């Protein structure tokens, strides 16, 4: 039967050099879809929850979504699934570009990497042929240079790689692909570095993937694309201003974290907004594979044309560090990509270091000539480079994230993180629902595991009062379950501004031959969220890990339109567990039976 799955995976043991072809378990694929869901189930079943994340016992699963590479919109995405060295829990990092589609076109649904190479290597995939090649000539290279070097050697390839941060095992290390796309969060690049794996290049003679019902897929793709183009966010805001269209929107409701979340309104936000970026620096939009939105930015940075910052680094290097110099933010973001680091956690760690310096915990002599002061543009540029190189003691500490940095100085409360991963650019004191998704995210502080900003700030699919707690637990669960589906399909989360479960069910059914109703598809999303939680439980997660920083609970917002607000997580978390069918943060036996997880 023809489906969008290739039906095969490669298992590569870097210790022995053995490369095996394995059949995709189609029964599990139906239960967990692909991408995030199937990758997590595979990792859980292989017993990885209990291993040291940076040991050779850990595994990396590079896995496409069920719809990756099809003609459906935004189907260029892939996932990196592993045990996170940053959180000690599940890591599933999502990236766009074209690398994921190329892997699918080459005939593979996933690559499983295990063991550790004695010397630096890279994997070269050319359709059915996979080989391990020496990467010693690539050691020390930054991301874009690696991309260029491998494209000289392998015609028409797409390149995934780690930069120097991954080589020295920074817990903030990302995996880069297609120059400036990133599987950015949870330290997945450090796991790759721990295995002496520098890159994976993929070439494919095909440029399309089959589907179960081509005519049905063509019809639902056409109508879904039309909905995306007619939607105000995906059809206008994101194409015109990129994700940074949110800067002024979030700032103007007083929920734009500033100076490491000490404040929630940045008076110079307009100078670092998507509108300012477009006016002063934008060269053109950039598009991931088969994307009708084009939210990516290509900017002029001091005469050099580079990938530009998205909303998160614009905020994290901007208001969160007290910086209003947009060109400096462009440059800091560029170096973040070149060294291969998480563009949320890296600047958030700099902001935490700035507060530690402000309060006298970090001494000036530790800064080696560049004091960590608010508002100095050179600080964000030079400390990003220093973290990427990790040569001086303070920079090496910072390269492992804000939690470990602040803990070292005796003040872990200054780290604005959940499960040791830095939170993104929405203050949960002024937006109650996003606080639930932060606290309960299986991969630590994260907004794209349940984007409650959509109803609470943008009013999609319906407007919710951001200051209220009523029904927020149920909404958070629904968004988390739907996001699990979207990630597992290999589609972009931004499509959810315009599409809902009915459209995703029709797309998946046409592509793979499943027969899901919208309700059944959400049940699969719930199953995926619960298998992640089971992984975390096996990894040693405790109920108290579902929490928010004390600042959000005990320190009311003082300087904005959300003045006086604190997070009501003490009220909403028990409500959330009830909606999930969990007790003390974990699924009950009845819930596991209902989801067919026993």
The token pair that represents 451 in the structure block = 């984007």
pLDDT at res. 559: 84
Q: d(Cα 236, Cα 241) in Å, to the nearest integer?
A: 8
β partners of residue 82: 91
Q: d(Cα 357, Cα 376) in Å, to the nearest integer?
A: 13
Q: d(Cα 247, Cα 323) in Å, to the nearest integer?
A: 14
Q: d(Cα 178, Cα 98) in Å, to the nearest integer?
A: 7
The token pair that represents 582 in the structure block = 């969990």
Q: What is the CA radius of gyration of the chain?
A: 22
Pair 429, 395 in one domain: no
Q: d(Cα 511, Cα 447) in Å, to the nearest integer?
A: 28
Each residue's pLDDT tens digit, 314-345: 999 999 999 999 999 999 999 999 999 999 99
Check which CATH number belongs to the domain holding 21 and give it: 3.60.9.10
- On whether residue 379 sits in a domain, the answer given is yes
- On whether residue 217 sits in a domain, the answer given is no
* Average pLDDT estimate for 33-48: 98
Residues of the chain with pLDDT > 70: what percent?
100
Residue owning tokens 């040291």: 52
* Average pLDDT estimate for 228-256: 97
* Average pLDDT estimate for 340-363: 98
Pair 437, 381 in one domain: no
Please give the C-alpha separations between residue 226 and each of 29, 76, 208, 232, 367, in angstroms, as whole numbers: 29, 19, 22, 12, 53
pLDDT at res. 342: 98
Pair 287, 304 in one domain: yes
Check which CATH number belongs to the domain holding 481 and give it: 1.10.599.10
pLDDT at res. 2: 84
Pair 403, 432 in one domain: no
Q: Give the total number of structural domains in the chain.
A: 3
Residue owning tokens 């927020």: 472
Each residue's pLDDT tens digit, 450-502: 999 999 999 999 999 999 999 999 999 999 999 999 999 999 999 999 999 99
Each residue's pLDDT tens digit, 374-426: 999 999 999 999 999 999 999 999 999 999 999 999 999 999 999 999 999 99
Burial class (CB in 10 A: 0-12, 13-18, 19+), 416: buried
Q: d(Cα 288, Cα 309) in Å, to the nearest integer?
A: 15
Pair 416, 426 in one domain: no
Pair 33, 51 in one domain: yes
* Average pLDDT estimate for 364-375: 98
* Average pLDDT estimate for 164-181: 97
- On whether residue 343 sits in a domain, the answer given is yes
pTM assigned to the model: 0.98
Looking from the CA of 177 toward its CB, the CA atoms found within 13 Å total 30
Sheet of 304-307: strands edge to edge? 282-286, 296-301, 304-307
- On whether residue 221 sits in a domain, the answer given is no
Burial class (CB in 10 A: 0-12, 13-18, 19+), 298: middle
β partners of residue 110: 9, 63
Domain that holds residue 465: 422-594
- On whether residue 288 sits in a domain, the answer given is yes
For residue 80, what is the enclosing H or E element? strand 78-83
- On whether residue 215 sits in a domain, the answer given is no
Each residue's pLDDT tens digit, 505-539: 999 999 999 999 999 999 999 999 999 999 999 99
Each residue's pLDDT tens digit, 274-292: 999 999 999 999 999 999 9
Q: Could you tell me the pLDDT band of residue 552, with boundaries at 50, 70 and 90?
A: very high
H helical segments located in 16-173: 26-32, 35-45, 99-105, 143-153, 164-167
Each residue's pLDDT tens digit, 73-87: 999 999 999 999 999
pLDDT at res. 562: 95
Pair 179, 320 in one domain: no
Q: Which of 420, 440, 466 is the last residue of a domain?
A: 420
Pair 426, 531 in one domain: yes
**β-strands 582-583, 8-13 pairing:** unpaired
For residue 537, what is the enclosing H or E element? helix 518-539
Instruction: Say if CB 344 and CB 444 are below 8 A apart.
Output: no
Q: Spell out a b/e string for 84-114, using b for 16 or more CB atoms within 10 Å of the CB, else e.
A: bbbbbbbbbbbbbbbbbbbbbbbbbbbbbbb
Per 3-state DSSP, the chain is made up of helix, strand and coil in percentages (nearest 5) of 45, 15, 40
Pair 17, 116 in one domain: yes
Pair 409, 426 in one domain: no
Q: Which of 399, 420, 441 is the last residue of a domain?
A: 420
**H and E: helices and strands count for the chain:** 25, 19
Q: Which of 369, 385, 420 is the last residue of a domain?
A: 420
* Average pLDDT estimate for 54-67: 98
Pair 440, 489 in one domain: yes
SS3 51: coil
Mean pLDDT estimate for the chain: 97
pLDDT at res. 357: 98
Pair 466, 558 in one domain: yes
The token pair that represents 157 in the structure block = 């390839």
Check which CATH number belongs to the domain holding 332 and give it: 1.10.569.10
* Average pLDDT estimate for 107-134: 98
- On whether residue 213 sits in a domain, the answer given is no
Does residue 1 have a pLDDT over 80? no
Q: d(Cα 177, Cα 385) in Å, to the nearest integer?
A: 20
pLDDT at res. 152: 97
Q: Could you tell me the pLDDT band of residue 104, with boundaries at 50, 70 and 90?
A: very high
- On whether residue 459 sits in a domain, the answer given is yes
């Amino acid at each position: 039967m023809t489906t969008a799955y290739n039906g095969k995976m490669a298992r590569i043991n870097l210790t022995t050099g053995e490369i095996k072809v394995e059949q995709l378990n189609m029964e599990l694929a139906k239960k967990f879809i692909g991408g995030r869901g199937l990758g997590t189930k595979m990792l859980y079943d292989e017993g990885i929850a209990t291993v040291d994340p940076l040991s050779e016992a850990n595994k990396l699963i590079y896995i496409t979504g069920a719809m990756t590479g099809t003609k459906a919109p935004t189907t260029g995405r892939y996932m990196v699934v592993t045990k996170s060295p940053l959180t000690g829990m599940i890591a599933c990092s999502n990236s766009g570009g074209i690398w994921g589609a190329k892997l699918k076109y080459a005939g593979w649904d996933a690559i499983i990497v295990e063991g550790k190479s004695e010397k630096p290597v890279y994997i070269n995939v050319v359709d059915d042929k996979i080989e391990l090649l020496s990467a010693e000539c690539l050691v020390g290279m930054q991301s874009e240079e690696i991309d260029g070097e491998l494209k000289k050697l392998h015609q028409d390839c797409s390149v995934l790689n780690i930069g120097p941060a991954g080589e020295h095992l920074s817990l903030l290390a990302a995996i880069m692909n297609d120059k400036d796309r990133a599987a950015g969060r949870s330290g997945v690049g450090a796991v790759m570095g721990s295995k002496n794996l520098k890159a994976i290049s993929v070439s494919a003679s095909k440029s399309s993937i089959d589907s179960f019902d081509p005519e049905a897929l063509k019809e639902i793709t056409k109508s879904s694309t039309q909905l995306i183009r007619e939607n105000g966010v995906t059809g206008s805001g994101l194409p015109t201003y990129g994700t940074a269209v949110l800067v002024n929107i979030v700032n103007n409701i007083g929920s734009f974290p500033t100076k490491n979340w000490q404040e929630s309104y940045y008076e110079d936000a307009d100078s670092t907004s998507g509108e300012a970026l477009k006016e002063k620096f934008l060269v053109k939009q950039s598009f991931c594979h088969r994307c009708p939105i084009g939210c990516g930015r290509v900017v002029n940075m001091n005469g050099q044309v580079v990938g530009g910052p998205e909303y998160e680094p614009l905020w994290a290097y901007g208001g969160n560090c007290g910086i209003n110099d947009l060109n400096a933010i462009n440059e800091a973001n560029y170096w973040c990509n070149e060294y291969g680091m998480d563009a949320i956690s890296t600047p958030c760690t700099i902001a935490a270091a700035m507060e530690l310096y402000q309060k006298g915990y970090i001494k000036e002599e530790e800064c080696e000539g560049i004091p960590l002061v608010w508002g100095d543009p050179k600080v964000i540029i030079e400390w990003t480079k220093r973290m990427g190189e990790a040569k001086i003691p303070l920079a090496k500490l910072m390269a492992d994230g804000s939690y470990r940095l602040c803990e070292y100085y005796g003040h872990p409360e200054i780290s604005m993180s959940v499960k040791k991963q830095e939170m993104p650019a929405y203050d949960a004191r002024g937006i109650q629902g996003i606080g639930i998704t932060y606290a309960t995210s299986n991969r630590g502080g994260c907004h794209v595991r349940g984007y409650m900003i959509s109803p609470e700030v943008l009013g999609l699919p319906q407007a919710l009062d951001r200051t209220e707690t009523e029904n927020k637990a149920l909404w958070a669960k629904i968004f988390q379950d739907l996001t699990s589906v979207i990630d597992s399909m290999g589609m972009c989360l931004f499509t959810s501004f315009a599409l809902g479960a009915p459209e995703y069910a029709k797309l998946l059914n046409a592509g793979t031959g499943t027969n899901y109703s919208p309700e059944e598809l959400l049940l699969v999303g719930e199953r995926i969220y619960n298998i992640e939680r089971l992984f975390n439980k096996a990894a040693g997660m405790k109920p108290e890990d579902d929490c928010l920083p004390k600042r959000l609970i005990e320190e009311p917002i003082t300087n904005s339109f959300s003045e006086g607000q604190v997070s009501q997580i003490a009220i909403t978390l028990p409500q959330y567990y009830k909606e999930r069918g969990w007790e003390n943060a974990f699924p009950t036996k009845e819930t596991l039976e209902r989801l067919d997880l026993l």
